Amino acid sequence: MEADDGRIFGGCNVENATYGLTVCAERVAIWKALSEGVRKFRAVAVVTGAEKPTPPCGACRQILWEFAGDVPVVSVTETGGRRLYTMSELLPEPFDL
């Protein structure tokens, strides 16, 4: 997550035996930023070891929308694959408050 002031907040998947309680890297990163007082964001980066660029999962999309809005999301692979999205493209009908 890139905050509006340029700070970068990283995250990693936090997995456990009960898969339902696993937390994705995107949510870890945004929660770290929020806990540091950040309220405005410039972009999200997703880096994966998969063959193709991978966008955030559905749960992450909703959280990112609620806290970061319609920011750019760049997904890259370790082998150089790259794809650019916007949050409104990934979540066209978000659940808003």
The domains of the chain are located at 2-90
Q: Give mean pLDDT, residues 57-66.
A: 96
Residue 96 pLDDT: 82
pTM exceeds 0.75 = yes
Whether 66 is a known active-site residue: answer: no
Catalytic residue selected from 15, 26, 36, 93: 26
Q: Reading across the β-sheet that carries 41-48, which strands appear in turn? A: 2-3, 41-48, 72-77, 82-86
Between the alpha carbon of residue 43 and those of residues 16, 52, 64, 70, the distances in Å are 28, 20, 10, 9
Residue 39 pLDDT: 97
Q: Token pair of 71, please?
A: 């920011």
pLDDT tens for each residue of 15-39: 999 888 999 999 999 999 999 999 9
Q: How confident is the model at residue 8 (pLDDT cuts 50, 70, 90)?
A: very high
Domain 2-90 fold is Cytidine Deaminase; domain 2 (3.40.140)
- Evaluate if residue 81 carries a pLDDT over 80: yes
